[in-house]
A = this chain, B = another copy of it.
């Protein structure tokens, strides 16, 4: 099963909780398997962590500290978004979550967070489910 979710981001850096959308995309009857969430963009990434507003603000500050927006990057001569590429590369483009009893096996405090580093934009997120042989 392969579904593409549409995401509309609303700020330059925008962290969007997509947990419910991913859960809704799981096909009926998937009892056990793997769910791979893949970001088909080069200036956005995906994170699995707690969706708490002050922590989300801390994530944004961390990206700014590790990859400052004011610094000079070579890629900016071509397209003024080098920092967004570099931030996405730290976050990563895929995460795989096991499915059990028909649901994502996320921990109590875990959410799936789509991180746009170069918004606002219309973005896509690919959700791919592999059914596992039971054993």
A interface residues (Cβ-Cβ under 8 A, vs B): 1-2, 27, 29-30, 32-34, 36, 38-42, 47-50, 52, 54-55, 57-59, 61-62, 66-67, 73-75, 77-78, 82, 85-86, 88-98, 100, 105-107, 109-110, 124, 126, 128-133, 135
Contact = CB atoms under 8 A, between A and B. Distances in A.
Nearest to A41: B107
A126 B105 contact: yes
Copies of chain A in the complex: 3
A118 to B, nearest CB: 11
Q: Is the interface of A mostly helix, strand, loop or mixed?
A: mixed
Q: Which of A73, A74, A110 has the most CB of B within 10 A?
A: A74
Contacts of A130: 33-34, 130, 132-133
A88 B58 CA distance: 13
Closest 3 A-B residue pairs measured CB to CB? A40-B107, A54-B74, A98-B128
A57 B72 CA distance: 12
